[in-house]
Amino acid sequence: MSEGIIALIIAPLVIFMIFVAPIWLILYYRSKKQVNQGLSAEEYAMMQQLAESAEKMSERLQTLEAILDSEAPQWRNRA
């Protein structure tokens, strides 16, 4: 009886170790290698473009706040 239970436990474990574990390890380390390589040239260019857009938006926001401060000094208290 106990030999049958042990066989039921060992058989899936052996199948896992032979087939699933090596594939799992290969995929894990391949994805880890891709993450460690950093940004591609295209991703870096996109990040630069987004940073420039954010800087322009910040400048526009400061200009808008300056205009509102001169035109309607109490605008900040309304919110």
DSSP secondary structure letters along 11-73 = HHHHHIIIIIHHHHHHHHHHHHHHHHT---HHHHHHHHHHHHHHHHHHHHHHHHHHHHHHH-T
Q: State the Cα–Cα distance between residues 52 and 59, nearest whole angstrom.
A: 11
Whether 4 and 34 share a structural domain: yes
Whether 56 and 30 share a structural domain: no
For residues 2 and 58, which has the higher predicted lDDT (pLDDT)? 58
Whether 17 and 2 share a structural domain: yes
For residues 2 and 70, which has the higher predicted lDDT (pLDDT)? 70
Structural domains counted in the chain: 2
What pLDDT band is residue 79 in, cutting at 50, 70 and 90?
low
Angle at 30 between CA 29 and CA 31, to 5 degrees: 90
Whether 33 and 52 share a structural domain: no
Is 1 a residue whose pLDDT tops 70?
Answer: no
Q: State the Cα–Cα distance between residues 36 and 59, nearest whole angstrom.
A: 34
- Boundaries of domain holding 8: 1-38
Is 48 a residue whose pLDDT tops 90?
Answer: yes
Whether 6 and 18 share a structural domain: yes
